[in-house]
Structure 1
Amino acid sequence: MELSSFSSNFLSTSEIVHVGRTRAYFSLLYDFSSVRFSRQLNCFGGSFLRNYEASNNIYMAHKAVISSASRDNLAAETSFHHMNGINGSSSSLGYRNLRVLDAFDDVYEGVVIDSERLPDSPTSFAAILRFSLSHWKKMVKPLSMFGKKGIWLRLPLEQSDLVPIAIKEGFEYHHAEPGYVMLTYWIPQGPCMLPANASHHVGVGGFVINYNKEVLVVQEKYCAPANRGLWKIPTGFVLQSEEIYAGAVREVKEETGICTEFMEVIAFRHAHKVAFEKSDLFFICMLRPLSAEIIVDDPEIEAAKWMPLVEFVEQPLIQEDSMFKKIIDICIACLEKRYCGLSAHHMVSKFDGKSSSVYYNVINMEDVNCIGN
């Protein structure tokens, strides 16, 4: 018997249901406002006494099959659930005490399982996860017009023993961070439409040149044998939730001790299948030095210095690399006001209400000179 909820301020009644041959009852009521069932089952010669009480919660009996089978089989087939009003998660009031995992809906008809309310026992987790998957697969139109699609399961490091259980139930790895692993499950038939894990690394390089036409350069301790002895600009990866320009300023400070001010993005490179088959975006940023004393305090940097621009450009490895030589040519053109880079401008979009950095160049149309920040 499948019971859909209905609204009532208070209800107390009892119903005698005769157990005969196996029958399934389906009720599709569209008013999901406020119903609560607290139920007791008592067997009296083939009949069950059900007591209902109504309050301000939503409950539903999901595909309860009443039959003349044994008590254990009946308990396995019958389960009444408490719906939380967000995603239809429930707690069983039947014999097996099964419930749907605590979760909430995302905006794409998906389910995000609450990682802070997972069962501690692997045995309980296996049974409840299986029951939850069955529930989400069978959600009907009054709850979701198109049914559930993707399920996100974040398992913290301290509960890593639950990973094999989720994999056995059909979950797949999505990504991992130091404190957790994320798994996903796609319900509909056909290709999975969940967004893939992050596909790019984002790197930055700081081109810093002083008033003496000297470039701030470093030598790395760990590099390919072919790059031994190369003096290069400071580079590194942008951190999570860090702006491109802020990452460039930070990397220069960490590697050389030089404080700088961001001017503009000169160019960027887009390469594929770089590290762990990920694509790579690398931004070259023009920075103005605000200090002069070099202090190397980075375990990955062998040395740092101010190098005359001409000497820097004439390095054999620079001359032999057409891409890097082109970037240096662009930087020099920018210094001579023959090229305009991209400045960062902060704007707020009404689509999400968040502040973003929009990079674009500003040109003085009278003399075609670049306008800095």
Structure 2
Amino acid sequence: MELKLCDPRSTALAHMRRLYSTSVINWNDTLGVRVSHLFCPCRGSSARAALSSKSNNAHATSNGALSSYGQGATESCLYHTSGTNGINSSVYSRDLRVLDGHDDEYGGFVVDPDKLPTNQNAFSLMLRSSLSHWKMKGKQGIWLKLPLQLSELVPIAVKEGFRYHHAETNYVMLTYWLPEGPCMLPGNASHQVGVGGLVINDKDEVLVVQERYCSPACVDLWKLPTGFIAESEEIFEGVVREVKEETGIDTEFIEIIGFRHAHDVAFNKSDLFFICMLRPLSTQIMIDDVEIQAAKWMPLVEFVKHQLVQGDRMFKKVIDIYIARLSKQYCGLSAHQSASKFDSKESTLYYHVIDSQNDFEACSG
């Protein structure tokens, strides 16, 4: 038996029978079959056929074209199966739907990762059909998120022209810029955000830690508790969480007293590191022995003389800023919730509120 397809690159009829809406019309059981070829090139174009049949599986519109299934455009092709006697015995029709998803506000399209076909051949056909459809519709940037369990689809998308954008633990994001000219899609995140907690109690003691895993240069050095801000986490929330996780100390965020901006740090990304002043709400230290080797309250005067502070200009400046803050010669940035009409969401704006003439004089001079 010979199978003739409109797309010569597709050979998996068995898969297509399972994954696409089909109409199989038997010439012996069906009367009055009418096939109207509008056009059916092998590559680069859609194919349509009009079927008139008593079969309930044949979906025809009033103008003779097959109706679409689901959302988006539908392309249909005829498949003629030739028997040994050379007479066509049946007609096989299926719909090539575009991938499901939604338009974004910038004229692009975001593919729904939960509605992707799991079969590689089906995905290849639908992706090719979708690209033609999106180009016809004048779409710009296409966002294709492939979950980890569908990683075998990545080479297919890359072969069709998609490029890597970013990856997380459970997916990879690929993009396709359709118009001529340079790609205008935003790049992957350029920065990571870290925090350090400067926690000083009423006895002028600083909460310090020794990390279990660190570079040889930092072995046995006492430092401030530090960590990274999690996704969708506020800076003031993240630093409180990190201090609690590493030392067991509950704290209250007061203000940001400074931040560092560095480049070519991890994976060639830039780094923003915020030094935050915190007020301790508890005293009993309980370390996370997975990350932390030791933690303690160290007198401020001792910490100032510590080799980490004396041997590092940045850490020394942090202590100088804190001492200036205690003597009201410096103003930090406190957190204030605010909304913006640009995204209609609550966010945090960090700034200093001047409560008195003394504060104004301290900040200005």
Normalised to the residue count of structure 2, the TM-score between the two structures is 0.77
RMSD: 2.8
Instruction: Name the residue aligned to 1:99.
Output: 97
Residues 80 and 92, structure 1, Cα contact 8 Å, conserved in 2: no
SS of equivalent to 2:357:
coil
Q: What is the CA distance between 1:40 and its match in structure 2? A: 3.8
SS at match of 2:157: helix
Q: Map Cα deviations across residues 38-71 of structure 1 (whole Å, 9 max, x no partner).
A: 984269xxxxxx96349xxxxx98xxxxxxxxxx
Residues 82 and 92 in structure 1, CA contact (< 8 A), matched pair in contact too: no
Aligned in 2, Cα 1:330/1:278: closer, same or farther, shift over 3 Å? same
Q: Which residue of 1 aligns with 2:21?
A: none
Question: Does residue 323 of the first structure (1) align with residue 304 of the second (2)?
Answer: no
Q: 1:129 aligns with which of 123, 127, 130?
A: 127
Identity of matched residues, %:
61
Give unmatched runs, 5+ long, in structure 1. Answer: 1-15, 23-37, 44-49, 55-59, 62-78, 140-146
Partner Cα separation in structure 2 for residue 219 and residue 201 of structure 1: 23
Q: CA deviation at 1:80?
A: 6.9
The alignment partner of 2:287 has SS state of: coil
5 Å-filtered alignment, 1:1-80, equals 40-41=50-51, 52-53=61-62
Distance 1:20 1:126 in 2: 24
**Count of aligned residue pairs for this structure pair:** 302
> Structure 1's 320 and 19: CA in aligned 2 closer, same or farther, altered over 3 A?
closer
What secondary structure is seen at the aligned counterpart in 1 of 2:117? coil
Kept in 2, the 8 Å contact 1:234–1:251? The answer is yes
What displacement does 1:364 show? Answer: 3.0
Q: 1:115 to 1:308 in 2, by over 3 A?
A: same
Residue deviations 1:152-195 (CA, integer Å, cap 9, x gap): 11111111111110011011111111211111111111111111
Question: Residues of 2 paired with 1:113 and 1:289: CA distance?
Answer: 47
Three-state SS of the structure 2 residue aligned to 1:341 is: coil
Unaligned runs of 5+ in 2: 1-33, 41-47, 54-58, 78-92
Mapping of residues 98-117 of structure 1, within 5 Å: 98-117=96-115
Whose strand fraction is larger, Structure 1's or Structure 2's?
2
* Counterpart-to-counterpart distance in 2, 1:108 and 1:274: 32
Cα offset, 1:365, TM superposition: 4.1
Report the secondary structure of 2:61's partner residue. Answer: strand
Residue 27 of structure 1 corresponds to none
Residues in 2 aligned to 1:200 and 1:83: alpha-carbon distance in whole angstroms:
40
Q: Residue type of the partner of 1:282?
A: F
Shift of the 17–40 alpha-carbon distance from structure 1 to 2, 3 Å rule, reads closer
Amino acid at match of 2:258: A
Deviation at 1:317, TM superposition (A): 2.6
**1:275 aligned to 254, 258, 266, which one?**
266
2:194–2:227 contact (8 Å) kept in structure 1: yes
* Cα deviations by residue, 1:109-133 (Å, 9 ceiling, x for unpaired): 0011111111121011111111111
AA aligned opposite 2:238: G
Deviation at 1:350, TM superposition (A): 2.4
- Contact 2:198–2:207 (CA under 8 A) maintained in structure 1: yes
- Partner residue, 2:331: 340
